[in-house]
Amino acid sequence: MAKAAINGIQIEYQDGGSGPAVLLTHGYSATGRMWDGQRQALGDRYRIVSWDMRGHGQTDSPADPTQYSHPLTVADMRALLEHLGQPRAVVGGLSLGGTMSLAFHLAHPEMVRALVICDSGPGFRNAAAREEWNQQAQKRAQDLEARGLEALGGRSREMEEAVRYHRSAQGLAHAARGMLAQQDSRIIDSLPGIGVPTLVIVGGEDTPFLAPCEYMAKKIPGARLEVIAGAGHSSNLDQPEAFNRVLADFLGSLA
């Protein structure tokens, strides 16, 4: 594990392997450690970088709730790549990490060699659907403030594994309101304009995200959709061998 002073906070990141850089971002209330298996499997060919987002894991949790947002998350991703001397990388993530990867491409397409979007969604064009999602994010935040880290128990495999690494329930609550919540339709509107190779992965049993992943694969020009049989929302953890085969095949196809 390593720390970097980035944008006024200390960010913890994991960095290993050699070859072209791949930046992987975790889901909400998980940590960058969820990608350790991919580093172990692919590190002989690729430099796998993962990290803990604001409010998560061992990264700082600012007390100011305005220090949690999509733009600040994107800025952290850019600064981390610059800190590591990587002007361009394959950028990907799971769930919220996938959404942030799409936001990163929207802001900095010149830094993205390819996209890997896992068990994720592009946000909402419909204001009512967005508000329903945001109400759930607010509910998660309130639950964390009321019950602490115990509120994370039983949600999903990557969250269960992450609980012991989190430092701040309040940081996670701020992240729910500022990062998990959606503000507009810019990300979903950007899909047809994505011009880099894109892999969309979804667990065959990840029912809430099957349709969003199919939608993204249809809207992003030339995108490849891979459904991992027997996997739920944590497709890389649920079926690691199948996930790694799909990811390695895609990375190997890049020019």
**What's the confidence (pLDDT) of residue 255?**
72
| Mean pLDDT confidence for 59-72 | 97
Q: Do residues 42 and 17 touch, judged by C-beta distance below 8 A?
A: yes
| Mean pLDDT confidence for 52-62 | 97
Q: Is the pLDDT of residue 243 over 80?
A: yes
- Tell me the CATH number at 77: 3.40.50.1820
Tell me the C-alpha distance between 196 and 209, whole Å: 22
Q: Is the pLDDT of residue 156 over 60?
A: no
What is the four-CA torsion angle of 137, 142, 147, 149, rounded to 10 degrees?
40
pLDDT band with cut points at 50, 70 and 90 for residue 162? low
In the 8-state DSSP scheme, what is residue 165?
Answer: G
Whats the size of the chain, residue-wise? 255
Number of independent structural domains in the chain: 1
Q: In Å, how far are 17, 93, 175, 179, 180 from 206, measured between CA atoms?
A: 30, 16, 23, 22, 18
Tell me the C-alpha distance between 152 and 162, whole Å: 9
Q: Is the pTM of this model over 0.85?
A: yes
pLDDT band with cut points at 50, 70 and 90 for residue 209? very high
pLDDT per residue as tens digits for the range 85-132: 999 999 999 999 999 999 999 999 999 999 999 999 999 999 999 999
Q: Is the pLDDT of residue 158 over 70?
A: no
Torsion region of 211: left, alpha or beta (phi above 0 gives left; psi -120 to 50 gives alpha):
alpha
The domain in which residue 68 lies consists of 2-253
